[in-house]
Amino acid sequence: MFQRNVGDIDQVIRLALAAMIIVFSLITGHPMLALVAIVPIVTAFAGVCPLYSALGLHS
């Protein structure tokens, strides 16, 4: 359906970013902020980034 456009290094960076967002949300006491981490987690595991597709970027 979608062509993979997220590379391996990009996946690791996205997962690390998601982990940092989750930790930050727990430290600050705003657990709803952790919902923002869903986006990089989903795009990392799916291997597809809609923004990259819109901009014509690929790995």
For 28-51, the DSSP string reads HT-GGGGGGGHHHHHHHHH---HH
- Cβ atoms of residues 6 and 55 within 8 Å: no
What is the number of helices (H) and of strands (E) in the chain? 3, 0
pLDDT at 6: 92
Q: Domain limits of the chain?
A: 8-55
What pLDDT does residue 37 have?
97
The pLDDT value recorded for residue 25 is 97
> Measured in whole angstroms, how far is the alpha carbon of residue 57 from the centre of its chain?
16
pLDDT along the chain (59 residues), means of 10: 88 97 96 95 94 83
